[in-house]
Amino acid sequence: MSVDPATVKKIARLARIRVDEAELPALADEVNGILHFVEQLQSVDVEGVAPLTSVVHRSLPLRDDVVTDGGSAETLLANAPDRIECFFTVPKVVE
């Protein structure tokens, strides 16, 4: 695949990037270089290679999935501007 200066101009217009006419041939060469590199990457055999999320194999520390009440209702409600018993009160929004 090859990109000409007219295509670069169209891409720049679609991306809302202002490009001078004098820069179009150089940008076309850069885009062609990138496309050539991508074509080289597509020829690499990756059969049997697992995808990586990191170069360091490390498992994430997990905590037990236990349901609790939080144990700090009074601490949280201490900051409430208004409350009834152990609940926040809010203005009525539906009539």
pLDDT at 57 exceeding the cut of 80: no
Whole-model pTM: value is 0.50
Task: Examine residue 91 and state whether it is found in any structural domain, yes or no.
Answer: no
In a domain, 70, yes or no: no
Please state, as a whole number, how many other Cβ atoms lie within 10 Å of the Cβ of residue 31. Answer: 18
Residue 24 lies in a domain: yes
Domain with 20, as residue range(s), is 5-42
Is 15 a member of any domain?
A: yes
d(CA 88, CA 90): 7
Tell me the average pLDDT of the chain.
Answer: 88
Residue 88 falls within a domain, yes or no?
no
CA–CA gap between residue 52 and residue 47 (Å, rounded): 14
Q: Which pLDDT belongs to residue 20?
A: 94
Q: How many domains does the chain divide into? A: 1
85 located within any domain: no
The vertex-39 CA angle with 22 and 13, nearest 5°, equals 35
Q: Evaluate whether 64 touches 55 at the Cβ level (below 8 Å).
A: no
Query: Which one, of 39, 44, 13, lies nearest residue 27 by Cα?
Result: 13
